Homo-oligomer: A and B are copies of this chain.
Amino acid sequence: MTALDVLGIGNAIVDTIARAEENFLLSAGLSKGAMALVDESRAAALYENMGPTTIISGGSAANTMAGLASLGRRACFVGKVKNDAAGAEFTHDIRKAGVAFDTASATDGPATARCLIFVTPDGQRTMNTFLGACQGLKADDIDDGCVSKAKVLYMEGYLWDPPGAKQAFLKAAKISRENGRKVALSLSDAFCVDRYRDEFLAMIREGVIDLLFANESELHALYQTADFETAMSALRDEKHLLGIVTRSDKGCVVASARDFIAVPAYPVDEVVDTTGAGDLFAAGFLAGYTQNLPHERSAALGALAAAEIISHVGARPQKDLLQLARDNNILT
């Protein structure tokens, strides 16, 4: 394999998306805006109560890799599907998005992962993930050569949920560091941070992580504070860490020990579905970062990619993001 910009490790998921009213979330006991893990029977019960659906490949890190490829960067994804219909869809879609994907499919065990996503009229998404085959990802699925060739290793915090995947990440992070590469972690979800706060903080403080992607609620969860300034101050105290904090329509802040750089959000006509907003922001930022653009331009690329994704249903880009970036004079 030739040199890579980013290798992403994550849960390989097919999304099933439907509109829902606010009061449905309440009656179904769903926490708006969050990701909840569900078993197969809960998933079946929720599906029975979903409206008409749209099915699109998803998975946080997988969405980010698809965004990177659309921005002309070389991306590879590692994640586990089963050799079933949904697994074939996931594999087709990520490869056709231009992302290298060669993780062996599971031949037995649970089905390919599904995420049931309810999108309320304000565009906010509420997710329910059946991890299925993702639970089979193991350290053996990491190809040393592949990792060593990637400028950035990117991993979603959700990977801490399936028991073996964490080992895969730690193995990859070690290889990446030994080769002088950068390691990025996305905090994924505030509840996910609650589950694994100590481990995430330890990795940050042990210098395993070079770049941290988080939204406001995830950052608040990480530092157990409701105050944004307090959380940002704590983030700045993490030496050698580049923190990229997204704030929805308030834009983002790129935080280092040296300075904070605020970049505005990109305006959208209508927020249709926020699924993938953070994933595509990360894609845009990493597209800039891996070609050594100034952080302002990388963040602007992130904002543009996020704006594209929230303007339609689903977390995979519908437009050629490289062309979009050129049309918006962010890339030449």
Contacts and interface: CB of A to CB of B under 8 A. Distances in A.
B52 A54 contact: no
A107 interface: no
A314 B19 CA distance: 14
Contacts of A92: 47, 50, 52-53
Interface in A283-332: 312-314, 316, 318
Given A47-B92, A85-B85, 13 more contacts: A50-B96, A52-B57, A52-B66, A52-B94, A53-B56, A53-B89, A53-B92, A54-B54, A54-B313, A54-B314, A55-B55, A312-B313, A313-B313
Interface string A84-124: 01000100111011000000000000000000000000000
Copies of the protein in its oligomer: 2
A43 to B, nearest CB: 13
Nearest to A93: B52
Q: Which A-B residue pairs are the 10 nearest by beta carbons? A: A55-B55, A52-B93, A52-B97, A51-B96, A52-B96, A54-B56, A52-B316, A85-B85, A53-B93, A54-B54
B53 A19 contact: no
A6 to B, nearest CB: 18
A269 interface: yes
Nearest to A19: B318
A259 B258 CA distance: 75
Contacts of A314: 54
19 contacts: A50-B92, A50-B96, A52-B66, A52-B92, A52-B316, A53-B93, A54-B55, A54-B56, A54-B313, A54-B314, A55-B55, A55-B89, A269-B269, A272-B312, A272-B318, A312-B312, A312-B313, A313-B313, A313-B318
A57 B18 CA distance: 12
A54 B316 CA distance: 9
Interface string A202-224: 00000000000000000000000
A283 B318 CA distance: 27
A66 B272 CA distance: 20
A47 B54 CA distance: 18
A224 B249 CA distance: 55
Interface in A184-199: none
Contacts of A93: 52-53
A147 B314 CA distance: 38
A94 B89 CA distance: 22
Contacts of A96: 18, 50-53
Nearest to A14: B55
A96 to B, nearest CB: 5
Contacts of A89: 53, 55
Contacts of A52: 57, 66, 92-94, 96-97, 316
Contacts of A94: 52
A93 to B, nearest CB: 4
A83 B51 CA distance: 20
